[in-house]
Amino acid sequence: MRELGRHFVFELFGCDPQGLDDLKGIQDAMERGAEDAGMRVLGRVFHKFSPQGVTGVVIIAESHIAIHTWPELGYAAVDVFTCSTNTDPMKAFGRLKGVLKPKSMTVMELKRGLFMGDKV
Amino acid sequence: MRELGRHFVFELFGCDPQGLDDLKGIQDAMERGAEDAGMRVLGRVFHKFSPQGVTGVVIIAESHIAIHTWPELGYAAVDVFTCSTNTDPMKAFGRLKGVLKPKSMTVMELKRGLFMGDKV
């Protein structure tokens, strides 16, 4: 029994408020991080909220990387979903961690597309 | 203790292969579904794979809706992440379910941004 995709759910607390509100820095870290990880970037969509906060998703050939930030709370929710076994999700997260500087974080891995049979 | 966002993780099996490969139908169902649910669409990014498969994300004022499909396996991974308590995530999923026609599915809710204090 093998999964189609691995979905990493990051919870980041105590982040730098300026980093959390820096759309350009976040987007750059996500796209370059995806490349570091061996992923192929296909497109992106980002939005800067007023007065603060960033939402953005980069779609990759291997699935997606998403972020939502709350600068006023020092919090970010990050998802890295990859359906390739040849990519390194932690590498995709590395640059983002550098921009956001979380004081504490958790990461959970969800197996997506688990077939109980011999389909995959 | 209250969460900032609710993240619904859908696993859809036994879907209609044509529906899974219909980028336009999927995108329309996601955007109109978001509106049904009381969400505000801010942008989207979609990709059609060759020979088959669709990846797409709609970002909303309340976070995001994402999909990845494997028509050859009848499978789709769908995420609905909302940080509003006034939106109905199941409504956001309704039209998509109509397009994909899963024979079986599971849904799991993750609480995102849980602060152990009085911050939220």
pLDDT in tens, A8-61: 999 999 999 999 999 999 999 999 999 999 999 999 999 999 999 999 999 999
pLDDT value at residue B2: 85
Domains and CATH numbers, chain B: 17-53+65-101 (3.60.90.10)
Residues in chain B predicted with pLDDT less than 70, given as ranges, are 117-120
Burial profile B78-113: b = 16 or more Cβ within 10 angstroms, e = fewer: bbbbbbbeebebebbbebbbebbebeebeeeebebb
| Position A116 confidence tier, pLDDT thresholds 50, 70, 90 | confident
> Which residues of B touch chain A, with CB atoms under 8 Å apart?
4-5, 7, 9, 11, 13, 42-47, 49, 55-57, 59, 61, 63-64, 66, 68, 70, 73, 75, 77, 79, 81, 83, 110, 112-115, 119-120
Confidence (pTM): 0.95
